[in-house]
Each structure stands twice: as C-alpha cells, then as structure tokens.
A = this chain, B = another copy of it.
C-alpha cells in the first residue's frame, strides 16, 4: 500500500506499532484524525507528551501515579496492614471497581513467565519483601490470575515470605457468578466442590 504523503505514512507507522493495530486500522485511525479539527489532533499529541512527562510509578506500591506516592498509598483511611499483590495496574483498577477492598496494593509489573523470559528479578518482588520486613503488614493477598504463570508467581512469593509472621491468602476460586454450571470447566467445578462452603441464607 503506497501512501501519498510522508507525514501520513509516519503517523500510520506510529499507530501500527501499537499492539493489535495493523496497517489498515492505523490508516483508518489517521484518516479519522485528519477529519477532525487540527487543534483536536494537537491536543491528542499534547496528551502523549504530558503522559511521558508526568506519569511515574508510586515508590511504595509501584502503581501509576502523578506523584511520588499514589492516592491509595497516601490515603490514611485505607488499611495499610493488608497488601493486595497484583500483576499490573489494570488489576488494581478492576479490584478498586468492586469496592470490596479497603487495603493497599503492591503491583508486580508482570508475572513470572520463563517462556517470555520474565523471571522474579524482573518483577517488584524484592520490594514487596522489603515492605513486609519493614513491619506493620499483617496480611498479603496474592491476587494473581489463576493460570500456570500466576500460580508459579504465587508459589515463589509464598516461599520468599513464608518464614515470617504473616497471613498469606489468595483469591477464592470457584464457579463464576451467573455462569451456567454445565458450561463451567471441569477443573473449576471440581475445585468448587472441594472448596465448598457452609450455606448461609
């Protein structure tokens, strides 16, 4: 596909470098931008400049933040003795959206995955251990995805923390709310029977 403008081509190159966006989609997006007001497009460009200029990682939990400490770590009304360990910032937002958690977070920045060349040293695990050693943390919730990589990472962190006085918990696994039972996979259904709980009306 020959592009009649070098500036158009450069913008298409940039968009098609994003994950999941091919050249045809990139072209569609850029042509859409060209139909907008130039000031709108400049605002788009400015938002990217300001993004890399201003966004940083919270030095306590490694969540994204506009300041050195994120709004969750700075909040005195949150329970700073309960730390929820998650893979990434999307997980923080997903758990926050449930409004069921009042503790604080620790964002690993990934998950142990030998296939992708990601080992424990690439993740914020040592900083988690340091947080625990600094004291005042009573519970660590391992809220990682129930996949092989997630389980591996949970086990690794568990071993790094196990010799301390600390409650280490993990998310409940079982059938999903509103799922049809006969569509639930065997592993999940089997686990939900083993982990059955007293019925409360």
Residue of B nearest to A21 (CB): B29
Pair B14/A19 contact, Cβ less than 8 Å? no
0/1 interface trace, chain A 79-90, chain B, CB 8 Å (1 if under): 000000000111
How far does the Cβ of A55 sit from chain B's closest Cβ, in whole Å?
5
Beta-carbon nearest neighbor of A19 in chain B: B32
Residue from the list B6, B41, B45, B54 in contact with A66, Cβ < 8 A: B6
Q: Flag the segment in A92-100, A133-141, A156-164, A172-180 that touches B.
A: A92-100
Q: Smallest CB–CB gap between A136 and chain B, Å?
A: 23
Q: Once bound together, how far apart are the Cα atoms of A45 and B49, in whole Å? A: 6
Contact across chains for A54 and B7 when beta carbons are under 8 A apart: yes
Q: How many copies does the complex hold?
A: 2
A89 and B32 form a contact (CB under 8 A):
no
Does A51 belong to the interface (CB within 8 Å)?
Answer: yes
Q: How far is the CA of A65 from the CA of B13 in the complex (A)?
A: 17
In the complex, what's the smallest C-beta–C-beta distance from A133 to chain B, in angstroms? Answer: 26
- A2–B97 touching, CB < 8 Å: yes
Query: A6-B66, A92-B4 given as contacts; is B42 within 8 A of A52 (CB)?
Result: yes
